[in-house]
Chain A
Amino acid sequence: MNPEFIRTICPYCGTGCGLVLKVEEGRAAATYPDRENPVSRGSLCVKGWVAHEFVHHPERLTAPLLRKGDRFEEISWEEAIALASSKLKETAAKYGPDSIGGLSSAKCTNEENYLFQKLIRAAFKTNNVDHCARLCHAATTVGMLQTLGSGAMTNSISDLAGADCILFIGSNAAESHPVLMGEVYKALDRGAKMIVIDPRETPVARNAHKLLRLNPGTDIPLLAGMMRHIVDKGLHKTGFIEKRMENFEALKTFLQAWPVEKAAKETGIDEAVIREVAETYARAENAAIVYCMGITQHACGAANVIAVCDLAMLCGHVGKPFSGIYPLRGQNNVQGACDMGALPNLYPGYQAVADPAIREKFQKAWKADLSDKPGRTVTELINAAGKDIRALYIMAENPCISDPDVNHVMEALQRLDFLIVQDIFLTETAKFAHLILPGACFAEKTGTYTNTERRFQLLHKAVDPPGKAMGDFEILCMMGKALGLAFDYNSPADVMSEYAGLVPAYAGICFDRLERSGIQWPCPDEKHPGTRFLHGEKFTRGLGRFVIPDYTPPMEKPDAEYPYYLNTGRVFAHYHTGTMTRRSPFLNREIEDPYVEIHPEDAATLGVGAGDWIRVTSRRGSIVTTARITDRVVKGSIFAPFHFTEARANMLTNPVLDPACKTPEYKVCAVKMVKDHEAKAR
């Protein structure tokens, strides 16, 4: 048999690079970059180049598993589906429909996400469906909805190459969205200026013209100080504000409270620098703000996003090419999972659950009664497990590593009456399941992912899932039917037809149209080519609104007992909970052991050398990990990548939530450290 070359999309980050998988004898043997993909154009990052490595790993789940005591036993699909559906129905009958919850997957396709939320809503008459966007860009959805009316990246990735000023705040795109950084560097080659706001000296920061290493969690004071200076100097775009904005007076009043001197004091950044950076941004012809977890994962995450939007709108840097606001969506399909309504308060297309007319539309389309009460978020579902929530269906998510305060998560999951976990490997979360369903990875399914620039892109199935594992689409169809829903879809393309009919912004999209280069929504009809940038004529909500950001300093700061700041995040060679990357030999070789970044002076104080084992403890838990001595972090702060199951950064993190969007404050909490003398030598 000759090798086949199948085009698909990378399963890792939200950049959405194009891959060509070389398939030999039914196995994904190699990955090449797809030179035709409009986003990646022939490049890949280190993870994309080895996307095939984990696909045929021997630890892949190959059959449904039922817990018997503390072992798992293989059962048939018939038994598994029958058990799952009956258990869920029983639970709903006994404790009410809102005792069921579903965690959908930002790794699965749009079609699978659509079916998942439809299943939870239509079969159980509850809105308890959410997914991991809650942990990252829920702040974006909430914040940008208020200011602009739409929570999506305003422009396209390629627009970055044309900016004259790029302001990074809370983003380490060189490690988390590597190929996207290429567009930024194109801009720099043209003479653009890059300003980076980050307490850490990330690889992005090292290429910056100006780096502002602000005190953790002081983004609003900084942005407010910048805006105050811009208004004082008359650099704001008065024409734009008059024509396109509302509530400017309120913003001006708010800015009275933030003179640059005060901002400087709060943030620890020099006054002169704040002024300079503000002017560079305001005066640029085209300016972009790129942001990510560094501002969303705070107790005032949504407010941080609001402040970013305020700054952009103040200077008129929205609604035109080469400018805009760029929230970098993390997972390969977290944008899609949100678009498809895997959210407790929104139906597909961000249509409100609470709106009776909208609900009626979906009731008619789905032929089912739907609940009018917005459901619980991921973090609330876990907290309520064993209390109001008695059964959970988790599809391809791993909260036992990715949620904050994982000790608490593990306790919570054990209180459930019934837990179904559908995944491709036996994850730490799956270990707590009563029933495990083996799903399919990206190479084994046809469907669509939507990348961070709103681009629907098509995956083509390259190989079959191993053993008895099935595509998540197929599993959801079986499950839906067992629960009495008419899930008779012939293919994922049929699912797209259904949701395209329910969401005006996706109405013009179908699989055929996506084959060559995908389409960016909104795409309201089949002749429409898709939308490169939003808010051109008017904002999605009509006028843009200056919303006042509510500043909340970090909820847990260092003190005598826990004297160091803990920051958490990602590194280039691994991805999120490491389920796939730590089973990829190439990536595991690049970064094998868990580590935390410690400043040399702190290391000296602790008597710790490079590679030494140290114990890091917070009020939530404790981990043993290795020390990487570097001045990327400031003295008094450490940074922990969260990818390592044997040293979970989220053992330590603070589960306090932003009340507006329920996103945890992953970026700041307090820890203590001590050299670990008992740990085995490496």
Chain B
Amino acid sequence: MSAERGNVKILVFACRWCGLIGADGAGRKRIELPASYRVIPVDCAGYVEPDAVIRALASGATGVAVLGCHVGGCRFNDANHPALKRLELLRTLLDTTGIGGRRLLLGFGTAHESHQYAEMIVDFHRELEGLPSMASWLHMAE
């Protein structure tokens, strides 16, 4: 089946205490990036319900990234722990169905800096390009 190449759309949920810093910074420094991502700032990675990731994929996102603070450094009482656990469990489900857990990128404590963020997007984009197309899942919906 055909690959996602040329069709990559990435939705990034970026926690405003870390991930968003990197995303913002990458923009400010004018780092060249594929124009395939959109960022949704959230107060905490714990705010991101897995259903939102599912909805994003159902709406045509090729991949979803959830960026949070490093595991010990959550601003809000370790809310990123359950977030991490939940999203890893969702990854299992994505793998089962063949959609592929690789479409879910979790970066907790890895995107504070602009260059980190930039590298991550470039790598994620490349990875997604090679994945088999999800069109058969989406074709059914109007």
> Smallest CB–CB gap between A526 and chain B, Å?
50
Chain A residue with Cβ nearest B142: A630
Bound complex: CA A206 to CA B136 (Å): 11
A628 touches B140 (CB 8 A): no
Shortest distance in angstroms between A597's beta carbon and chain B's nearest beta carbon? 9
Which residue of the partner chain B has the closest CB to A630? B142
Q: A674 vs B140: C-alpha distance in the bound complex, in angstroms?
A: 28
CA distance A401 to B140 in the complex (A): 31
Chain B residues with CB under 8 A of A206: 140
B136 CB, min distance to chain A CBs, angstroms: 11
Chain B contact residue count (CB 8 A cutoff) = 2
- Inter-chain contacts of B142 with A (CB < 8 A): 628-630
Interface string of A139-165 (1 = CB under 8 A from B): 000000000000000000000000000
* CB-CB contacts below 8 Å: B126-142 with A: 140, 142
Q: Which residues of B contact A630 (CB under 8 A)?
A: 142
**A residues in contact with B140, CB < 8 Å:** 206
Q: Which residues of B contact A628 (CB under 8 A)?
A: 142
Complex Cα–Cα for A206 and B142 (A): 13
Main secondary structure of the interface of B (DSSP, over half): loop
What 1/0 flags go to B82-124 for Cβ under 8 Å of A?
A: 0000000000000000000000000000000000000000000
Q: Complex formed: what's the CA distance from A628 to B141 in Å?
A: 12
Interface size class, chain A: under 10
* 0/1 string, A85-107, CB within 8 A of B gives 1: 00000000000000000000000
Which of chain A's residues 178-219 have a Cβ closer than 8 Å to chain B? 206
| Distance of B109 from chain A, by nearest CB (Å) | 42
Min CB distance, B140 to chain A, in Å? 7
Name the residue of chain A whose CB is nearest to the CB of B140: A206
Q: Which residue of chain A has its CB nearest to the CB of B139?
A: A206
A628's nearest neighbour on chain B, judged by CB, is B142
Measured in the bound complex, the distance between the Cα atoms of B140 and A484 in whole Å is: 60
Distance A630 CA – B142 CA, assembled complex (angstroms): 6
Chain B residue nearest in CB terms to A203 = B140
In the complex, how many angstroms separate the beta carbon of B105 from the nearest chain A beta carbon?
A: 32
Tell me, in angstroms, the Cα distance from A630 to B139 when the chains sit together: 11
Kindly state the separation between the CA atoms of A429 and B142 in the bound complex, as whole angstroms. Answer: 35
CB nearest to A629 among chain B residues: B142
| Alpha-carbon separation in the docked complex, A327 to B24 (Å) | 64
A414-473 contacts to B (CB < 8 Å)? none
Residues 600 to 642 of chain A near chain B (Cβ within 8 Å)? 628-630
The distance from the CB of B126 to the nearest CB of chain A, in whole angstroms, is 33
Expressed in whole angstroms, the Cα–Cα distance for A629 and B140 within the complex equals 13
Tell me, in angstroms, the Cα distance from A5 to B140 when the chains sit together: 38
Mark A628-664 against chain B: 1 for CB-CB distance below 8 A, else 0. 1110000000000000000000000000000000000
| Nearest B-chain residue to A206, judged by Cβ | B140
In the bound complex, CA of A673 to CA of B142 (Å)? 21
Q: What is the CA–CA distance of A630 and B140 in the complex, to the nearest angstrom?
A: 11
**Nearest Cβ on chain A to B73's Cβ, whole angstroms:** 44
Q: Which residue of B lies closest to A632 (CB)?
A: B142
Contacts of A629 in B (CB 8 A): 142
A636 CA to B86 CA, complexed, in Å: 48
B62 CB to nearest chain A CB (Å): 23
* Distance in angstroms between the alpha carbons of A399 and B111 in the assembled complex: 66
**In the complex, A478→B122 CA distance in Å?**
81
Please measure, in the bound complex, the distance between the C-alpha atom of A390 and the C-alpha atom of B140, giving whole angstroms. 51
In the complex, A206 Cα to B140 Cα: how many Å? 9
Q: B51-64, CB under 8 A of A: which get 1 and which 0?
A: 00000000000000
- Name the distance in Å between B138's Cβ and chain A's nearest Cβ: 13
Report how far A628 CA is from B140 CA in the complex, Å: 14
Quote the shortest CB–CB distance from B70 to chain A (angstroms). Answer: 44
Map CB proximity to B onto A204-242 as digits: 1 under 8 Å, 0 otherwise: 001000000000000000000000000000000000000
Tell me the minimal C-beta distance from A505 to chain B in angstroms. Answer: 44
Nearest CB of chain B from residue A112's CB, rounded to whole Å: 41
- A628 and B142 CA atoms in complex are apart in Å by 9
**Bound complex: CA of A629 vs CA of B141, how far in Å?**
12
- Closest CB-CB distance, A626 to chain B, in whole Å? 13
Q: How far is the CA of A461 from the CA of B142 in the complex (A)?
A: 42
With the chains together, A561 CA to B140 CA distance in Å? 34
Q: Tell me the smallest distance from the CB of A196 to a CB of chain B, in Å.
A: 16
How far, in angstroms, from A472 to B95 measured CA to CA in the complex? 56
Interface flags for B33-69 (1: CB within 8 Å of A; 0: not) read 0000000000000000000000000000000000000
Give the distance in Å from the alpha carbon of A629 to the alpha carbon of B142 in the complex: 8
The smallest C-beta distance from A200 to any residue of chain B, in angstroms, reads 13
Distance to closest chain A CB from B31 (angstroms): 38
A455 and B142 CA atoms in complex are apart in Å by: 38
Rounded to whole Å, the gap between the CB of A608 and the closest CB of chain B is: 15
A93 to chain B, nearest CB (A): 59
A628 to chain B, nearest CB (A): 7
Bound complex: CA A188 to CA B69 (Å): 49
**A601, chain B: closest CB distance, angstroms:** 15
Could you tell me the distance in whole angstroms from the C-beta of B15 to the nearest C-beta in chain A?
Answer: 35
Interface string of A333-360 (1 = CB under 8 A from B): 0000000000000000000000000000
Whole-angstrom distance from the CB of B137 to the nearest CB of chain A?
Answer: 13
How far is the CB of A175 from the nearest CB of chain B, in Å? Answer: 14
Tell me the complex Cα distance, A576–B72, Å: 60
Q: How far is the CA of A527 from the CA of B140 in the complex (A)?
A: 50
CB of A590 to closest CB in B, whole Å: 15
CB contact list, A359-394 vs B, under 8 A: none
Bound together, the chains give a CA A206 to CA B137 distance in angstroms of 12
Question: Separation in Å of the B60 CB from the closest CB of chain A?
Answer: 16
Min Cβ gap A599→B in Å is 12
A536 to chain B, nearest CB (A): 41
Q: How far is the CB of B111 from chain A (nearest CB, A)?
A: 37
Chain A residues packing against B (C-beta within 8 Å): 206, 628-630
Write 4 A-B pairs (CB below 8 A) sorted by A numbering.
A206-B140, A628-B142, A629-B142, A630-B142
Shortest 4 CB-CB distances between A and B: which pairs?
A: A630-B142, A206-B140, A628-B142, A629-B142
